[in-house]
Amino acid sequence: MNVSSVVPVKSVEDPRLDGRPVKRIALSAEDIAARVRELGREITETYPDGDLLVLGLLKGSFIFLSDLVREIRRPLQVDFIVASSYGDATVSSGTVRLVYDPETTLEGKHILLVEDIVDSGRTLSRLLDLLSERSPRSLEVCALLHKHIAEHLRYPTKFVGFDAPNEFLVGYGLDHAENFRHLPYIASLQ
């Protein structure tokens, strides 16, 4: 889907917004569901054999990951990873610390790292470096959204749901101060 086809919204009557105005709905729940189905088919075709571990980068990916794995038509395992690169700062330091390390063995498996949004790429690149040291059979990224502004991204994102506008987005796992993750669509906050 081309991001230019998003629909501006004057007012959204949704109690989940708690009165916060949105600039627009960037992606509807229906558009997201259709693209997740397509990604499931693409991933199924890409991995016809071998052990597949779908590794969700928390917290933002959890809703996307849960919908995505139900669309992948082959055996797989699911685990999660939590990484921190911010500390007390508002800008990534580039030093990645694993807050939660997957309990599943990565060696010899196809690893599909699921991310909510790719922006600077700094944390993602360092995380992929760390995961590649564990000798997976393959290591790829699936992102729901990609802003295409990543100056520090050293690895291509193999599966991309949507090109994202350079706006502050919430919903479908994306948050603002831990709020709005539960929205079934993706909105741009004012």
Q: Which residues are catalytic?
A: 119
Query: Cα(139)–Cα(158) distance, rounded to whole angstroms?
Result: 10
| 183, 25 Cβ separation under 8 angstroms | no
Q: What angle do CA 146, 150, 152 make, to 5 degrees?
A: 140
Q: Is the dihedral of CA 17, 22, 26, 31 positive or negative?
A: positive
Query: Cα(7)–Cα(81) distance, rounded to whole angstroms?
Result: 34
Query: Cα(74)–Cα(173) distance, rounded to whole angstroms?
Result: 25
